A and B are shown apart, each in its own frame.
Chain A
């Protein structure tokens, strides 16, 4: 009898534990809601504009006469957004082009529906003896970047190959840490190099003379601010089942991008609050980035990733990575 009770108790506890680990996301309210996930930083500025000016809500209402409820979630990594979209709790995500390509090719169930921005990348160093990539390859000094396998890592691999070295020549020298931690480490002399992007790269360049930093050339030659950096992805379900909402999303973000390009000062006033800068600084940073809906270099990057073990399956064409409406390559 006692054994029976303990077995039942064990079974019940087991059932509770497994169901508690992950219930399917609550059913969405009719056809009028969309969950968007994005990350932190200036590269996501058009999203702040779209959110503050309610551009998605307006575009959808104009086209269909119906209302849409938009939920914005800030996540800390592209991998988390991938899981969110795969589970169906998120329909639209914005992330680095690296994880987006990985997601497209590993069957998360989305494709790129627009480009969002391109940003300058750079490699800064505090060691005088490290003047070129060659010096770095021949040393065992460490390079901080945001994650192993991140877009920054892939750009470094591309730059190495461009300079005639093995793409993975610096893999053992990498340290994965968030952009601000990397900047702290570089400026306090605890790491020799930091490969980073807007706004950190500009902050480090501004501090160049005061803190004795210099830039190692070769990064922006292979991936400039004109190339895709942050892209938007949209689940196949939303694209197929709700074309009106899909259209509204495309239109809203295109408007947001146009607003930043045409009304920089007003845009900076809106976004500076979220980035913790002054409107003047913000405008300077916004102008340094490229905000455009056309992708640039995505297919080429995916091919490079597949050739150098960053990606298991190579895409056959741009259509494997992006929906039909996307302009660019």
Chain B
């Protein structure tokens, strides 16, 4: 087990180092013509832009403020989205009619990009940070619901029948049978939702920049507008780092202590 972990770490490190060296070689080869340095900066330039982002921020606003604002909106959207998905999927277990409707709603709305809904959202919610929260909820609730619904559908009938036989009511069935049996689906739903929420947040902030609540997406846009490509790439690295931190610091431990411990997945 330990050996496998080491091996996976080693392969991943080699992979990252290889990507970095190919990037650096490409940047140094100036293959994009005279302005190569500007549009395809070297790792050194990106590294110093990374430091500069945190040291000086932009237009008198610290970079930490951008990150904190984004994380705040993201967390709120993520919690609301997951809670909504669990609630509605739970109701789908209780009522067949609700299931038919919700199944259709999930299939339809999962296909609609959040940013395409912006005009409607502006009219409904006004112009405030809650619009971004709404877009994050939209990014999370449908894939999460789809995973939960599929997870519930995959539970062997015999478990549900056994639960009914010992006299569980609908709520007890949900918490005692459906949710534990579908945990592996819930965990993979969490992973997908987290990534969708993160992406949804950044694209919403890029389209809809609120100066009184500036987020990472707005920062990327400002760097693009000012032709500061190294700073822009450095910001993308920050996005990836936060994503990886959540993936390995929060989501993996959850997986290890639930489905892996219970022997539901490898």
A residues near B, CB below 8 A?
3, 6-7, 10-11, 13-15, 17-19, 22, 24, 77-79, 82-83, 86-88, 99, 102-103, 106-109, 142, 144, 147-150, 168, 171-178, 180-181, 184-185, 188, 190-191, 237, 309, 312
Q: In the complex the two chains form, is A24's CB within 8 Å of B32's CB? A: yes
Which of these, A82, A144, A149, contacts B222 with CB under 8 Å?
A149
Take A10-B14, A149-B222, A190-B126 as given contacts and tell me if A86 and B211 are in contact as well, using a CB distance cutoff of 8 Å.
Answer: no
Complex CA gap A107/B36 in Å reads: 11
CB–CB A11/B18 < 8 A: yes
CA distance A15 to B14 in the complex (A): 12
**A190 to B19, Cβ gap below 8 A?**
no
**By CB atoms of chain B within 10 A, which of A15, A149, A171 has the most?**
A149
Complex Cα distance A208/B40, Å?
48
Residues facing A in B113-166 (CB within 8 A) are 118-119, 122-123, 125-127
- A237 and B221 CA atoms in complex are apart in Å by 28
B side interface size, CB within 8 A: 42
Q: Are B122 and A99 in contact (CB under 8 A)?
A: no
Cβ of B26 within 8 Å of any chain A Cβ, yes or no, is yes
The 27 listed contacts between A and B (C-beta, < 8 Å) are A7-B14, A10-B15, A11-B15, A15-B18, A18-B19, A18-B22, A18-B23, A79-B227, A83-B229, A87-B33, A88-B34, A88-B35, A102-B227, A106-B227, A107-B38, A108-B227, A142-B212, A148-B218, A148-B225, A150-B225, A176-B218, A176-B221, A177-B127, A177-B207, A181-B118, A185-B126, A237-B34
B224 (CB) vs chain A CBs: closest residue: A79
Determine if B209 is an interface residue (Cβ-Cβ < 8 Å).
Answer: yes
B194-237 vs A: 1/0 string, CB under 8 Å?
00000000000001111110000010011011111100000000
B11 CB-CB contact with A under 8 Å: yes
B208 touches which one: A14, A79, A108, A177 (CB < 8 A)? A177
**Contact B210 A175, beta carbon cutoff 8 Å:** yes
A144 close to B127 (CB less than 8 A): yes
Confirm or deny: B250 has a beta carbon within 8 angstroms of a beta carbon on chain A. no
Chain B residues close to A by CB (< 8 Å): 7, 10-12, 14-15, 18-19, 22-23, 26, 31-35, 38-40, 59, 118-119, 122-123, 125-127, 207-212, 218, 221-222, 224-229
Taken together as a complex, chains A and B put the C-alpha atoms of A214 and B14 apart, in Å, by 62
Please state if A99 and B15 are interface contacts (CB–CB under 8 Å).
Answer: no
Judge whether B211 and A172 touch: CB under 8 Å: yes
Which residues of B sit under 8 angstroms from A88, Cβ to Cβ? 32-35
Known: A13-B15, A86-B227. 6 other contacts (CB 8 A): A15-B18, A79-B227, A106-B228, A107-B35, A173-B212, A175-B209
Chain B nearest CB, measured from A132 CB (Å):
21
Chain A residues with CB below 8 A from B127, complex form: 142, 144, 175, 177, 185, 190-191
Distance of B174 from chain A, by nearest CB (Å): 39
Could you tell me the distance in whole angstroms from the C-beta of B70 to the nearest C-beta in chain A? Answer: 15
Q: A22-B40, A108-B35, A190-B123 are in contact. Are A14 and B218 (CB under 8 A)?
A: no
B212 surroundings in chain A (CB, below 8 A) = 142, 172-173
Q: Is the beta-carbon distance between B31 and A17 smaller than 8 angstroms? A: no
Given A17-B19, A18-B22, A82-B227, are A148 and B119 also a contact pair (CB < 8 Å)? Answer: no
Q: Does B40 lie within 8 Å of A173, measured CB to CB?
A: no
Tell me which residues across on chain A come within 8 A of B125, comparing CB atoms.
190
**B residues near A87, Cβ cutoff 8 Å:** 32-33, 35, 39
Closest beta carbon of chain A to B143's beta carbon, Å: 25
Query: Are B35 and A7 closer than 8 Å at their CB atoms?
Result: no
In the complex where A87-B32, A176-B221 touch, is A188 in contact with B122 (Cβ < 8 A)? Answer: yes
Chain A neighbourhood of B19, CB < 8 A: 14, 17-18
Question: Is the pair B14, A173 in contact by a Cβ cutoff of 8 Å?
Answer: no
Which 3 residue pairs spanning A and B have beta carbons closest together? A176-B209, A14-B18, A10-B15
Partner of B211, one of A19, A148, A312: A148
Q: How far is the CA of A6 from the CA of B225 in the complex (A)?
A: 41
Closest Cβ of chain B to A121, distance in Å, is 18
Contact call A188/B123, Cβ cutoff below 8 A: yes
In the assembled complex, the Cα of A312 lies from the Cα of B227 at a distance in Å of: 11
Q: Which chain B positions have C-beta within 8 A of A237?
A: 34
Docked complex Cα distance between A195 and B213 (Å): 20
**What separation, in Å, do the CA atoms of A229 and B81 have in the docked complex?**
43
Say yes or no: B33 contacts A10, CB within 8 Å: no
